[in-house]
Amino acid sequence: MRNRRANILSDGLPISAVYINGDLISDTNETVVLKPDSNPILIRFDGPGRCYFILEDAESAAPKIRTPLAMSWYDRPGMIPFDAHPELENPVGWRRFIAPPGLRSMKLAVYGALQVWADGQELAVIKQEQNRKGATEYQINLNNPTPSKAVITMRIEQIPGFYGGSAIPEPVTLDCGPGKMEIGDWSIGSVLECYSGGAWYRKKVNLKPEQIQGQVLLNLGDVTASAELHVNGKLAGIRVAPPWVFDISDSVAPGDNLIEILVYNTLANHYLTIPTRYRGSLQSGLLGPVRIESRLPVVLENIRN
């Protein structure tokens, strides 16, 4: 193995001094030489603040693809990872999260070997190709989709230099089908906390003939942040602000009636995943209580003595 030439990329808080292999780097704009083995680095700051310090292979090319909103160094192919725990011979990391109802498959990129369990049952992990950043892509399929929320546990045999959250460099993609979820705030208790989008609520309601003789109203209670109502396959109305009440008199019939409600939340949940100053309410979904109200017509007659 031969020595490696590297460039220093840094910005933010000024660096007072840099030592590589015990040698003071007098000019951080100059190329430095790294040994084939480990290269201890010491950085001195004379005040508090934030900055980044990156070593990049001097012979690497500029990135061909840029990740939106990422730091300028993020997609550079020649980044040299730092190993903060060189004393660990077999570093292993564990990650757990709660998946939404209806989980049927997962995709993720990992720096290292991966094992996955759903509610304590080990799943088959399909190893695929490496992505452009050198992480291995994995596909995990569930033979039986989880009807409700599931605890996902992951064991990662980490590559030196990629510990903690850096072992999973990209978002985990979850494919979910139909599942059971109680009415309420969907941002509480699972990874849906970071989900901005829509969710369908479906239920069959049996109505007796006398229940639909007058005006029939569907009251959703409370919703965040919009509601689109379909009754028996037909659009019955859209609401983007309270009151969350729909007149469904012309849409219902005696017997079973299919009620479908599409609810969208706001971008506040997605903003948890990106650097931004925007912080809105995370509350999401059909909050209820939901009820059907039947109002019979009242006829007032003049009675003369």
The token duo for 109 is: 């990129």
d(CA 190, CA 144): 20
Reported pTM: 0.78
Cα–Cα dist 80/87, whole Å:
18
Q: What is the pLDDT of residue 66?
A: 84
pLDDT at position 156, please?
Answer: 97
Q: Which residue has the higher pLDDT, 89 or 191?
A: 191
The pLDDT score that the predictor gives to residue 304 is 67
What is the predicted pLDDT for the residue at 305? 59
Mean pLDDT in residue range 282-286 = 96
Region class of 174: left (phi > 0), else alpha (psi between -120 and 50), else beta = beta
Question: Over 90: is that where the pLDDT of 116 sits?
Answer: yes
Place of tokens 């990650």: 95
Q: Over the stretch 1-57, which tens digit does the pLDDT of each residue have?
A: 689 999 999 999 999 999 999 999 999 999 999 998 889 999 999 999 999 999 999
What's the whole-number mean pLDDT along residues 182-202?
92
Distances (CA, A) of 250 to 111, 122, 126, 211, 253: 57, 50, 51, 13, 8
Cα 175 from Cα 100, distance rounded (Å): 10
pLDDT value for 209:
93
Residue 86 has pLDDT above 90, yes or no: no
Q: Domains along the chain?
A: 1-80 (no CATH), 92-176 (2.60.40), 191-295 (2.60.120.260)
Say how far apart CA 246 and CA 248 lie, in whole Å.
6
Which pLDDT score, from 0 to 100, does residue 122 have? 96
Q: Are 221 and 297 in contact (CB under 8 A)?
A: no
Look at residue 133 in the predicted model and tell me its pLDDT: 80
CB 89 within 8 A of CB 159: no
Q: Which of 67-81, 137-151, 212-226 has the lowest mean pLDDT?
A: 67-81
Gap between the Cα atoms of 198 and 174, Å rounded: 15
pLDDT digits (tens, 9 = 90+) for 254-265: 999 999 999 999
CA gap 248, 294 in Å, rounded = 10
Angle value at C-alpha 130, between 8 and 191, nearest 5 degrees: 90
What is the average pLDDT across 146-154?
94
304 or 277, greater pLDDT: 277
